Structure 1
């Protein structure tokens, strides 16, 4: 099979095994998958069954979905940031599946009381410089440089810029809990 035609690349199992300092025999013993089957899988010479995927994932402390995702997209993805302004913020944004990363600057006195629409995600605001106040339905937080706040982005929230600020904001789908 031509490597360029692979839709799933399970050589990632070899990478995980070696990083864990395990031999084929170690993985075989822990997963119940034969050494021959593992070897063929690591060389992409056979397809994996769901039960095998599950058992192998557990050996490496992963979910079956995580292992499948690694096999599906084991190469890095490069993107270019988009720039835009929203309220008092000048943003640079990079998005990947499940996560949006923002680098923002804002001038003192700015307010954003209706942040952009959110899906079912968490928001993390990490203040790099300046001072901001974030107001949620039942609480208010004033952040200083180096402080971060994580909250459910579905909650009404507002940002008040108390000093010229630089902020890193992450939107993380709740399916990627931490």
Structure 2
């Protein structure tokens, strides 16, 4: 079993996360004063005197099209709009896409994309799906509240750690594992005279590793390499590979993993 802890850490938010906060542009807009005055006074009087009955709980939608028409309560209005707007602008600019190009790729109008980025419109689930597909990102990337473009401090005690069954191999994520990414950074610890076998990663995956303590042997297919403290190696990790600590002390390594496609 591959306990190689630097496999992609998929901690993304599921599709259903935050659905209660999503509403269409129409439901997100309070009635205008003209609309309110247009309502019959008599009807308003009957409404105020009518007995209030809790609305029935609807069954959960079973398809993407049904989710597109789900709306939140009016008081939940603006929480999601600025989050989606900030994430959309960041992810679009990172990919060098203009609003026009993204509009053509997603089928969402340029005007609507602009309104979403400005936080003026809260898109339906269907619209978010279209944008996510066009950008080639997980749905959760657009509604995540954890994405940051500034400084991100990750305390040691809060780090994501994974270990082998026998506890002789431990990896610590040194990156925000809850965001879409193509690059991951790990601290690896391998006990004295222990071996860690890693399965092949997706095609195009590269590992850039440096040893800071101990002596480590790395086998990649028919290749065999010996690294002492200070030595580094860069190799394609899309074939099975092995880490072996031949020293009497724990080996400490730092690994940069680069994927051909976005993960997480």
- The two structures have a TM-score, normalised by structure 1, of 0.55
1:96 to 148, 173, 177: 177
Equivalent residue of 2:219, what SS? strand
Q: Is residue 208–residue 233 contact of structure 2 (8 Å, CA) maintained in 1?
A: yes
Q: Is residue 171–residue 189 contact of structure 2 (8 Å, CA) maintained in 1?
A: no
Cα distance per residue 1:135-168 (max 9 Å; x no partner)? 2331112234251333436515242335853202
- Note closer, same or farther for the CA distance 1:27–1:100 as it changes in structure 2 (3 Å cut): closer
Aligned positions, number: 162
Q: Is residue 206–residue 236 contact of structure 2 (8 Å, CA) maintained in 1?
A: yes
1:75 to 125, 146, 159: 146
Structure 2 partner of 1:41: 116
Q: How far, CA to CA, are the matches of 1:96 and 1:174 in structure 2?
A: 17
Q: Structure 2 regions of 5+ residues with no counterpart?
A: 1-27, 29-76, 149-153
Q: How far, CA to CA, are the matches of 2:242 and 2:259 in structure 1?
A: 17
Task: Flag the structure with larger Rg.
Answer: 2
1:14 to 68, 89, 94: 89
- The two structures have a TM-score, normalised by structure 2, of 0.42
- Larger strand fraction of residues: 1
Of the two structures, which has the highest relative contact order with CA contacts closer than 8 Å and spacing of 6 or more? Answer: 2
- Note closer, same or farther for the CA distance 1:5–1:101 as it changes in structure 2 (3 Å cut): same
Q: Is residue 92–residue 135 contact of structure 2 (8 Å, CA) maintained in 1?
A: no
Q: How far, CA to CA, are the matches of 2:143 and 2:199 in structure 1?
A: 27
Pairwise CA distance, 1:34 = 4.9
Q: CA RMSD in A?
A: 4.8
Equivalent residue of 2:246, what SS? strand
